[in-house]
Amino acid sequence: MENERSKLRKKVFTIVEQACHEIHGFKKLYGELEDKIVLSGQSKSTLTNYGRKLAQVSLHFGKLPQNITENEMNRYLASMARKSKTPSLSDFKFMVYGLRYCYHLLGMNEKAIKLPVIREGRKLPVVLNKQECIAMFKAPELLKHRVLLSLIYSAGLRAQEASRLKIADIDSGRMMIHIRQSKFNKDRYVPLSPLILQGLRKYYFACQPVEYLFNGNTPGSPLSVRGMQWALREAVKKSKLQKGISLHTLRHSYATHLLEEGMDIVSIKELLGHERIDTTMVYLHVAKPNRTNLFSPFDRLYKKD
């Protein structure tokens, strides 16, 4: 399995190098793409996904994306869409996004506009109820994993934020957690739960982490997101929860539970580190209303006057 992953990583890397070698001007285009993504504060995965797709289409046609005609591109994208059962969740999406980003970068907005529109499914996030949270947090055998999952939920952390969290970021004096240079290169503070602090202290004295709050296999190196995902899968399996649960489900549950407990949406936006309020407003559709006068009309059908 590990050899297959290594081969895949090598293949992912070499498709860009191949395009740089075979397609005149691609190396310059890729450099401009990388600069733009870095300056915009976007993630490395954005560069990886877009770079691969631009390399793929350039190698297919033997020329740069800006030199591919509209008809050629339409036929190519239509072929991709036919091969995929769910284009909006496939390579098709990243190809369109990568091309659109490239055309905007080059000032070719008309070509960007003519690309197909990706219609995202409006799915609401999966959210755990409080009993499910409790079951999951007590499921792991290792104290480290119990504290890790509890902390992610308690502070609404993204997976990368939890991975990069350092011991020094836990401010027990102010009862705050300092989240550094997260998405959009923004810092933020979130409240530190007193109960979580108790668990963190117990974990610290038992495991003696070095620099990072949760170490990987080597002391002083962070626990990888993949390692955290494994811990979550084991906890879900042991607690026998049936929902489709990811690390991000804990963040969704955090936001939803805050809303249900009466916190205002603007405060939740700041705690989550969202750039735009409409991203946070999705939880308005998930949270259970806390008004007590709500009922189902079905119950009133059989109510005796």
Q: Residues near 19 by Cβ (< 8 Å), separated by ≥ 6?
A: 26, 30, 54, 55, 58, 59
Indicate if 300 belongs to the active site.
no
Indicate if 254 belongs to the active site.
no
Indicate if 158 belongs to the active site.
yes
CB 215 within 8 A of CB 72: no
Residue type (1 letter), 304: K
Catalytic residue, from 36, 166, 178, 183: name it: 183
Query: What span, in angstroms and rounded, lies between the C-alpha atoms of 111 and 65?
Result: 10
Catalytic residue, from 146, 158, 164, 252: name it: 158
Indicate if 24 belongs to the active site.
no
- Of 231, 200, 216, 207, the C-alpha closest to 164 is 216
Query: What span, in angstroms and rounded, lies between the C-alpha atoms of 300 and 281?
Result: 32
- Of 5, 102, 2, the C-alpha closest to 58 is 102
Catalytic residue, from 52, 146, 251, 252: name it: 251
Distances 187 to 166, 179, 180, 265, 270 between C-alpha atoms, Å? 14, 6, 5, 19, 11
Q: 175's torsion region: left (phi>0), alpha (psi -120 to 50) or beta?
A: left
Indicate if 52 belongs to the active site.
no
Indicate if 183 belongs to the active site.
yes
Residue type (1 letter), 194: P
Query: What span, in angstroms and rounded, lies between the C-alpha atoms of 73 and 7?
Result: 29
Q: Residues near 223 by Cβ (< 8 Å), separated by ≥ 6?
A: 148, 163, 212, 214, 215, 216
Residues with catalytic function: 158, 183, 248, 251, 274, 283
